[in-house]
Chains A and B, each alone.
Chain A
Amino acid sequence: MTYMIHGNLILAMAIFTIGMLGILWKRNAIAIFMCVELMLNAANLVFVTFAQSLGQARGVAVFLFVITVAAAEAAVGLALFIKVFNDKQTIEADRLDMLQH
């Protein structure tokens, strides 16, 4: 089963990097948000992999927390997007530079 552990770690790294680059690459804020979810998933994969390989329930518990936080984040973030879209008629990240002010 060692191959599965190594494979999972490498897969998680790959997905994590893909998500990271997606954040920098995409312009649609929702797409960026989905890339964040990809990164979270990669992290989850590592947590669960180690939890299973070590027989540790803690990893699974952390996984549950990550999922909860992701859910909360998605709820608030998407509500924000709706708000921003109504104000600016766009949610493209490069057109929003309100953080400058």
Chain B
Amino acid sequence: MLIQSIYGIFCFVALFSALLVVFSPHPVYGALYLVTTMLSIAGLFVLMNAQLAAAFQVIVYAGAIMVLFMFVIMLLNLGRQDGPAVRTRGVRWWGLVFGGVFLAQVVAMVAQLVTRPVGAAAPSAAPSAAAAFASVRIHEVARLLMTDYVYAFEMTSVLLLIAIVGAVVLARRQLVQGVSEEDLRS
């Protein structure tokens, strides 16, 4: 019962703060709510016995990426959105319509999956669903990364390197306000 209550609280916080990300007028608040969502999801990971994922979620997402977001928001010193919207409002309402359609479709899909008799379901989904969550061992993840996913792993490292270089090149001049490019070169 305790687990279920904690699960419910996490779910609620995650959903509510996700909504607040969209509805908060100032990006700083939005970013903080996003952190809240991520932490809640990390809590859900812990409840599922996925400690590794939870740790990554907290350290990388909530820690590193969100700090970067905060940093940029502060740097640009963006205030509330002001001024009249330029684009037509149609995009928002049409977005709502198609978002609703999308949600309906996915809900229908999940409902189909959930209400399906256990015996007729896909063999992989049935047996462990009822059992307690198994703990995915860390060394198994590591082995996968070094064997099956080794190419993807290496490419990801290259991707990160490119991202670092790209970010530096793109933002270099602007980060050092008042210093001309010639000064940087010399």
Do most interface residues of chain A lie in helix, strand or loop, or is the interface mixed? helix
User: For chain B residues 134-165, which have a beta carbon within 8 Å of chain A?
Assistant: 134, 136-137, 140-141, 143-145, 148-149, 152, 156, 159-160, 162-164
Candidates A21, A60, A73; contact of B95 at CB < 8 Å: A21
A:20-72 near B, CB below 8 Å: 20-22, 24-28, 30-31, 33-35, 37-38, 41, 44-45, 48-49, 51-61, 63-65, 67-72
Residue B9 at the chain A interface, CB threshold 8 Å: no
Looking at the assembled complex, report how far the CB atom of A30 sits from the nearest CB atom of chain B, in whole angstroms.
5
The one of B22, B102, B166 in contact with A25, judged by C-beta atoms closer than 8 angstroms, is B22
The answer to whether A17 touches B47, judged by C-beta atoms less than 8 angstroms apart, is no
Binding site for A on B (CB under 8 A): 4, 7, 11, 14-15, 18-19, 21-22, 27, 30-31, 34, 37-38, 41, 44-45, 47-50, 52-53, 56-57, 60-61, 64-65, 68-69, 72-73, 75-76, 78, 81, 83, 85-87, 91-92, 95-96, 99, 102-103, 106-107, 110, 114, 124-125, 128-134, 136-137, 140-141, 143-145, 148-149, 152, 156, 159-160, 162-164, 166-168, 170-171, 173-175
**In the A-B complex, the 5 residue pairs with the closest CB atoms:** A24-B95, A72-B163, A94-B87, A79-B170, A79-B167
